[in-house]
Amino acid sequence: MSADEKNAIIQIQNLKTWFLVTKGAFKKVVGYVKAVDGVSLKVYKGEALGIVGESGCGKSTLGKTIMLLEKPTGGKILYNDNGTFKDVTQFNKQETFAFRKKVQMVFQDPYSALNPQKKIYTSFEEPLKVHGVKTQEEREAAMQKVLKMVNIQPEYLMRYPHQFSGGQRQRLCIARALVVKPDVLICDEPVSALDVSIQAQVLNLMKDIQKELHLTYLFIAHDLSVVQYMSDRIVVMYLGKIVEIADSKSLYDDPLHPYTRALLSAIPVPDIHNHKKRIVLEGETPSPIRKPSGCAFHSRCPNRMEICKTVDPALLHRGQNGHMVACHLYDDKVEGKSAVKMDGKGSALEERADSDEKY
Ligand code: SF4
């Protein structure tokens, strides 16, 4: 096993999660929604890996598939179990149960994530019971420990979810995920349902907890500022595929993919002297049922070339620190590329060298 593999806790290889599209009384299959379509990725121990993209890009489905809440259509999810990689897609019921203790999920909506009819004590005790914490003393000690981490008083365990504010509920959801001592936390838009003032509290808390427990985070969000704040590395997804991966600084300072540049140009800058050029993409995201041929982004890309309409670009290393991008603009073998210059603030100053086509 290479040093790189040793440091990885999860390796995803060509993962696909497709959903059937049926029609009529006999449910004739007329197509597939390719929510995750050939994703390969390594998640390293102790890192916070951000996953960003527009709604419908497949980021939440990717998280749910890793948790085995969605059944993958193809590919592998390898989990580093004490130095041995095991394919979790092949796990039996018992192995899946053990795996779910190590990988926990925090959902977007803290209102529906907690059972309104059960006291917090019961919601916390159940996972401890099913994962084999036998005595009540041990269970209560575990509950008190995680509640302390999220700054909730232990006596609140006897309350019902409706007696808490949104921020408190999300902190309780984080505590419930932590109570079984996972290695990986998949956070699916954990702060997007909260007020902005509460978001910062919860994000800081999550950062502190990650440091204290040496957790690995998969942080899924559409808010680029939140992802930048939380993540060591960032994955950008578009229509079920990864289009760019880089460490947080490289991605924000020097985005390569035209889609990433457009996303980053939309982040508001709190500085009246810093006029960042906004890149406005035309049109809607195409349907994941009928994806465009070639590069799926070509129908909206201001830099598209002839080759983009037919050839899907591979995700290749560009630059340093593992910066990868899937775009023909950076393929040395492709001729007639658009000239792409950066203004040093992450904004693209683009000139098409080979065409005056308007987009
Ligand atoms: Fe744009 Fe072509 Fe790059 Fe796709 S491959 S992002 S269409 S330039």
Q: Facing residues of 42 across strands? A: 11
- Judged against a pLDDT cut of 50, whether residue 135 lies above it is answered with yes
What per-residue confidence (pLDDT) applies to 355?
Answer: 36
Q: Residue of the nearest CA to atom 6 in ligand 1? A: 327
What per-residue confidence (pLDDT) applies to 358?
Answer: 32
Cα of 304 vs centre of ligand 1, distance in Å, is 5
Cα of 298 vs centre of ligand 1, distance in Å, is 6
Cα of 242 vs centre of ligand 1, distance in Å, is 13
What per-residue confidence (pLDDT) applies to 72?
Answer: 96
Cα of 327 vs centre of ligand 1, distance in Å, is 5
State whether the beta carbon of 171 lies less than 6 angstroms from ligand 1.
no
What per-residue confidence (pLDDT) applies to 14?
Answer: 97
- Judged against a pLDDT cut of 80, whether residue 261 lies above it is answered with yes
**How many C-beta atoms lie closer than 10 Å to residue 129's C-beta?**
12
- Judged against a pLDDT cut of 90, whether residue 359 lies above it is answered with no
More confident residue, 61 or 322: 61
Average pLDDT along the chain: 88
What per-residue confidence (pLDDT) applies to 39?
Answer: 96
Distance CA 226, CA 145 (A): 27
What per-residue confidence (pLDDT) applies to 321?
Answer: 81
What per-residue confidence (pLDDT) applies to 288?
Answer: 82
Please report which confidence band the pLDDT of residue 90 belongs to, taking 50, 70 and 90 as the band edges: very high
Distance CA 288, CA 285 (A): 9
Write the DSSP symbol of residue 82.
Answer: T
Q: Two tokens at 278? A: 């906004």
Among 238, 257, 297, residue to substitute to test ligand 1 (most atoms within 8 Å of Cβ): 297
State whether the beta carbon of 242 lies less than 6 angstroms from ligand 1.
no
pTM recorded for the entire structure: 0.88
> What's the pLDDT tens digit per position in 277-288?
777 787 778 888
- Judged against a pLDDT cut of 50, whether residue 346 lies above it is answered with no
Please report which confidence band the pLDDT of residue 332 belongs to, taking 50, 70 and 90 as the band edges: confident
- Judged against a pLDDT cut of 50, whether residue 124 lies above it is answered with yes
Average pLDDT for residues 228-245, to the nearest whole number? 95
Please report which confidence band the pLDDT of residue 336 belongs to, taking 50, 70 and 90 as the band edges: low
What per-residue confidence (pLDDT) applies to 108?
Answer: 87
Contact by Cβ (8 Å): 86, 79: yes
> What's the pLDDT tens digit per position in 2-44?
767 779 999 999 999 999 999 888 889 888 999 999 999 999 9
State whether the beta carbon of 313 lies less than 6 angstroms from ligand 1.
yes
What per-residue confidence (pLDDT) applies to 337?
Answer: 64
State whether the beta carbon of 265 lies less than 6 angstroms from ligand 1.
no
Please report which confidence band the pLDDT of residue 349 belongs to, taking 50, 70 and 90 as the band edges: very low
State whether the beta carbon of 256 lies less than 6 angstroms from ligand 1.
no
> What's the pLDDT tens digit per position in 301-316?
999 999 999 999 999 9
- Judged against a pLDDT cut of 60, whether residue 345 lies above it is answered with no
Q: Residue of the nearest CA to atom 7 in ligand 1? A: 298
- Alpha-carbon Rg for the chain, nearest whole angstrom, is 22
- Judged against a pLDDT cut of 80, whether residue 270 lies above it is answered with no
Distance CA 277, CA 71 (A): 41
Distance CA 259, CA 147 (A): 41
Average pLDDT for residues 150-175, to the nearest whole number? 93
Q: How big is the CA angle at 175 (ends 169 and 178), to the nearest 5 degrees?
A: 150
State whether the beta carbon of 262 lies less than 6 angstroms from ligand 1.
no
Q: Two tokens at 23? A: 């029609």
What per-residue confidence (pLDDT) applies to 338?
Answer: 53
Q: Picking from 33-42, 49-58, 291-300, 338-347, which range would have the lowest pLDDT averaged per residue? A: 338-347
Among 241, 260, 298, residue to substitute to test ligand 1 (most atoms within 8 Å of Cβ): 298
Cα of 311 vs centre of ligand 1, distance in Å, is 10
State whether the beta carbon of 325 lies less than 6 angstroms from ligand 1.
no
Nearest to 103 by CA among 93, 120, 88, 114: 88
Average pLDDT for residues 199-224, to the nearest whole number? 93
- Judged against a pLDDT cut of 50, whether residue 343 lies above it is answered with no
State whether the beta carbon of 261 lies less than 6 angstroms from ligand 1.
no
More confident residue, 271 or 170: 170
Percent of the chain residues past pLDDT 90, beyond the cut: 67
Q: Two tokens at 85? A: 């990689």
Q: Picking from 248-257, 312-321, 329-338, which range would have the lowest pLDDT averaged per residue? A: 329-338
More confident residue, 193 or 350: 193
What per-residue confidence (pLDDT) applies to 318?
Answer: 87
Cα of 201 vs centre of ligand 1, distance in Å, is 38
Distance CA 319, CA 325 (A): 10
Q: Facing residues of 348 across strands? A: 342
Distance CA 193, CA 286 (A): 26
